[in-house]
Amino acid sequence: MNRRQAVLGIAAAFTVGIALRTWPLWHSPLPFNPDGIIYARFVHDTVRTGSLPLSRMHVDELAFTSFLTTISHVTGLDALRHAQPAIAVVGTVPVLLAAAFAGRIAAGTRLDALGRRYAAVLAAVVLAVEGLYLHRSMPVDEQTLGLALVPLALLAVAYASRRDARWWFVALPTLLVVPAVHNLDAFVLALALVLLAVLALDSAELGRLRSLGTLAIGFFAYFATYNVATQTLTDASINQQDRLTTVPGLILAWLVLAAIGLRWFTSRRDSTKRTLLASVLLTWFVVLAVNALAPIFPGLPSTHPTILYGIAPLVLLVVLLAYGLPDVLDTTEGTSLLAGLAAVVVLVGISLTASLTADYLNTLYRVQTFSHLPVVTIAAVAAARISTRTGLLDDIPGFDRRRPSARTAAGALAVVVVLASVASIPIAYGGLDVLPYKGVTTPAELQSTGFAERHVPGAWTSDDHLTRMTPYYTSAGDGRRGPTDAYLTGSPPPGCPMLVQASWSTTGAQRYPQTAAVVPPPRLEATMITSHVVYHTGGADPISLTIARSAADDCTNSSV
């Protein structure tokens, strides 16, 4: 593989990554993830009035709304149209970071040019197609920006403190931006900075240790100050802060445990490092498998077989990571990746030990996304080491990497790694038959919600998916999911107008965070027959606004 082929390979991976992240547009022209539709409303209001609608926003929605608003101003396009293509590009940027990380780490471990190119291309391809990462890097969501900013900030800080002070011109602006992008992204970065300082204890450079420690403390202070000051000085509010503020002792305990563990870990033999790291990450797979048998989070969904089968081949990446990690710890890039991975381990531990609730399950799923770039990058370097003269194959008697059989072995390993990642792609596009949350919103769904908001003089009800979109039309909407939830679990039809979707009798109605509820076809048909139908969309999955003929004219089951 020459340099030109490597560049083409990385470019192809980037292109494929963008294509996969725009794939939802084949099913609907609207943004993937209903939150993207709400962001479109924020952008509309900002463009129309010239100011952010702060009273309806959280403090970590300001930067992303400003980002989308800038695109609207530059292109003249509606946010509903440009948000998904834009986020597809943003969500694929980490692919380039993975290639850069892998190439630099390979060089730092004295791999030759062929090994560096092999590692860079393999890392780019795997991260572009890996299903779990794909599912969290294609939604129109503020966290998607952080998937690139967090590893970039860690690398820039590591470079600036060890190699070249000019990297502070990259590190400091990135550190300033991340808290405005997403609270969880900023907290991951804050933990990673602390753990990066812990890893610096192995260095004899006291000045570097002092600067990293000061930076970690300063970033924590800035993160807290930004949120409190923004909430105090504007009408914006802090979202989901109780997940952290209610368990400060637990957070500190996990952070101290991780710090002590890292110090012990880095002083162990290579075999111990490999065994310990593999054990920690494989435990996550065990948790998923156990959850397939019985929900670990009470009342919440078990692991769907599609998810289990898709994730199982990714064990190969963990094995390669464990094999390759000891060799990369002497590199600046490897140290920053380990700090980021350790921060994820801390937050996964907090999520599993704080409270087995939907909020912490959501935190766990979001935070695990930050582990993929470190795992994929180091796994790619490990595969390169195995496939070149510095790897395991050279220990085989008679092995010569210049022979066709050696090149075939190297290519076969890359193909196996890529196929293991491709096997997880169905997870990213799973609907309510696989996941408790539907990402794709059709125009008919958005329009039916708008009809209910405009024409129902009071409360109306539907499933979690349709009622989520009411803020697109008005901040004072009264779409409620509670009465429909009751209906889906066996209660009579609610007394207020209800948007009913035909697919409720097949894939089911969304009840996030619980699994979707399927209404038996005869029951759904009886509901339609015994109700007044005042609106009907037609199409493959028609939506109807129904009013029960014998019911009272209000939503009595719930105000939610």
The 3-class secondary structure across 212-265, one letter per residue, is: HHHHHHHHHHHHHHHHHHHHHHCCCECCCCHHHHCCHHHHHHHHHHHHHHHHHH
Partner residues linked to 415 by β-bridges: none
What would the two tokens of residue 176 be?
């300033």
Question: Given this model, what pLDDT does residue 206 score?
Answer: 66
CA dist list (Å): 466 to 452, 508, 524, 535, 546:
10, 13, 17, 15, 14
Find the farthest-apart pair of alpha carbons in the chain and give their distance in angstroms, rounded.
Answer: 85
Supply φ then ψ for residue 557, to 5 degrees. -80, -30
- Exposure letters 27-52 (e unless 16+ CB within 10 A, then b): ebebbbbbbbbbbbbbbbbbeeeeeb
Q: Which of 220, 237, 219 is nearest to 228 (CA)?
A: 237
Q: How far is residue 37's CA from residue 31's CA, in Å, rounded to a whole number?
A: 6
From CA 509, how far away is CA 273, in angstroms rounded? 46
CA 346/CA 344 separation, integer angstroms: 5
Give the phi and the psi of residue 58 in degrees, each rounded to 5: -95, 160
> How many whole angstroms separate alpha carbon 46 and alpha carbon 52?
5
Nearest partner of 106 among 390, 338, 320, judged by Cα? 390
Residue listed under structure tokens 């470190």: 374
Q: With contact defined as beta carbons under 8 Å apart, do 180 and 98 qualify?
A: no
Do 104 and 158 touch, CB atoms closer than 8 A? no
Residue 396: exposure state from Cβ atoms within 10 A (0-12, 13-18, ≥19): exposed
In this prediction the pTM is 0.91
Q: Strand, coil or helix: what is 362?
A: helix
446 neighbors 41 (Cβ within 8 angstroms): no
Q: What is the pLDDT along the chain (560 residues), one digit of tens a residue?
A: 778 888 999 999 999 999 999 999 999 999 998 999 999 999 999 999 999 999 888 998 899 999 999 999 999 999 999 999 999 999 999 999 999 999 999 988 888 888 899 999 999 999 999 999 999 999 999 999 999 999 999 999 999 888 788 999 999 999 999 999 999 999 999 999 999 999 888 665 666 778 888 999 999 999 999 999 999 988 888 887 888 888 989 999 999 999 999 989 888 898 899 999 999 999 999 999 999 888 898 888 888 888 999 999 999 999 999 999 998 888 889 999 999 999 999 999 999 998 888 989 999 999 999 999 999 999 999 999 888 754 444 444 444 445 555 567 777 888 999 999 999 999 999 888 888 889 999 999 999 999 999 888 888 999 999 999 888 887 767 888 999 999 999 888 888 899 999 999 999 999 998 999 999 999 999 999 988 999 999 888 999 999 887 655 567 654 44
CB 508 within 8 A of CB 517: yes
Query: For residue 549, what pLDDT is reported?
Result: 79
Class of residue 207 by CB neighbours under 10 A (exposed 0-12, middle 13-18, buried 19+): exposed
- The C-alpha R_g of the chain, in whole angstroms, comes to 25
Tokens of 499: 């948007």
Residue 37 has phi, psi (to 5 degrees) of -70, -40
DSSP letters for 98-142: HHHHHHHHHHHTT--HHHHHHHHHHHHHHHHH-HHHHHHHSSSST
Query: Residue 386 has what pLDDT?
Result: 86
Beta strand 460-461 with 479-480: parallel, antiparallel or unpaired? parallel
pLDDT recorded at residue 539: 84
CA 443 vs CA 20, 29, 542: distances in Å: 21, 8, 11
